[in-house]
Amino acid sequence: MSKLAITPDSDFLTVLDEILLTGKSQDLPAYELAQRAGVTPETLSRIKKRGHGDWAVLNRMAKTVGKRLTLVPDDSTIVALRRGEFFETK
């Protein structure tokens, strides 16, 4: 039986980076943010190194910095607006 290779999850890392930046803006070092969320600094380090982890951990970390994780519709119109591609130019 072969081992399952898990590749880094860019969405996961994007959310983690946002949480860590928010913590930093609140003068909350990553190790302390992790501890307040019930995660050891070593676990946070492994998550960052591997590029993936438990979304429940991210949710607890987000709540620690006053944010929450939510799902929103994947609306292509909104994406086009954000990219500035909604209005046709001639």
Instruction: Give 21-31 pLDDT, tens digit per residue.
Output: 999 999 999 99
Q: Which of 15, 32, 14 is nearest to 23 (CA)?
A: 32
pLDDT tens-digit map of 56-78: 999 999 999 999 998 877 777 77
For the chain, helix (H) and strand (E) counts, in that order, are 5, 0
Q: What domains are there in the chain, each with its CATH number?
A: 10-83 (1.10.260)
Q: Is the pTM of this model over 0.75?
A: no
